[in-house]
């Protein structure tokens, strides 16, 4: 990751930042439970695939509503720098694959078990591929990039570049595995070290996406990179 020589552009308002830091813990902790409770009350026999699409649709609508000005401004930056954004996406994807290969070797060396989040996603893809394509390729990247790169990385990046990469990775990784880690600790009494090491699986994506954002100066570049990564990963499963 070379140092970005261009000034980091961050066209997000203070109100949007406030919305972001209020909504982030809601999105990670509260909203999944709330959506599940309400949906189950309305339709007791609702399946998990339906809950997933409802959760991401609600999250997508909230994010687009709260951050419409930021997303619109960032899209204008994408249009103004189409070629640079394209190369940022392609180079970000190459970096992601190289880093993912190295992390996979590390986890294999330490005999780290399968990522439970990945296993559940694969199971849902096999059951209902259309739903999971909509979630992982269309809705999820917009929501996650707005919050993890747009809000978390962008805020810290203005003050400390290294801290921005580190904190955004930690938040992004913990978001995917925190429930599994807590369950492992509470049910087995284990320390959950295997799951904690699985957090490293999100390091390549987090670094590549943040770097893509920083290099392109538009949030839509990492959004499209995130879509590309997920789409190609799903194509391997199908």
Can you tell me the distance from the alpha carbon of 155 to that of 192, in angstroms, rounded to the nearest whole number?
31
Q: Please give the model's pTM, rounded to 2 decimal places.
A: 0.94
Q: What is the mean pLDDT of the chain?
A: 92
pLDDT in tens, 89-140: 999 999 999 999 999 999 999 888 889 999 999 998 988 899 899 999 999 9
Q: Is 192 left (phi over 0), alpha (psi -120 to 50) or beta?
A: left
Q: Where are the domains of the chain?
A: 77-237
pLDDT in tens, 206-215: 999 999 999 9
Cα 17 to the center of its chain, rounded Å: 18
């Amino acid at each position: 990751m070379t140092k970005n020589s261009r000034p980091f552009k961050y066209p997000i308002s203070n109100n949007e930042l406030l919305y972001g830091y209020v909504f982030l813990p809601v999105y990670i902790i509260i909203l999944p439970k709330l959506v599940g409770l309400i949906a189950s009350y309305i339709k007791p026999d609702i399946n998990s695939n339906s809950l997933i699409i409802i959760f991401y649709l609600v999250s997508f609508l909230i994010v687009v509503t709260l951050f419409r000005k930021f997303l619109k401004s960032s899209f204008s930056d994408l249009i103004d720098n189409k070629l640079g954004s394209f190369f940022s996406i392609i180079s970000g994807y190459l970096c992601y694959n190289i880093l993912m290969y190295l992390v996979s070797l590390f986890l294999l060396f330490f005999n780290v078990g399968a990522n439970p989040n990945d296993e559940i996603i694969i199971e849902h893809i096999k059951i209902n591929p259309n739903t999971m394509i909509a979630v992982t390729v269309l809705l999820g990247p917009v929501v996650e990039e707005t919050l993890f790169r747009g809000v978390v990385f962008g805020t810290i990046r203005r003050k400390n570049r290294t801290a921005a990469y580190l904190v955004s990775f930690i938040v992004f990784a913990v978001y995917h595995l925190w429930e599994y880690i807590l369950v492992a600790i509470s049910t087995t009494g284990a320390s959950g070290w295997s799951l904690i090491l699985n957090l490293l699986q999100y390091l390549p994506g987090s670094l590549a996406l943040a770097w893509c954002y920083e290099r392109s100066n538009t949030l839509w570049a990492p959004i499209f990179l995130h879509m590309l990564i997920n789409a190609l990963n799903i194509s391997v499963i199908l």
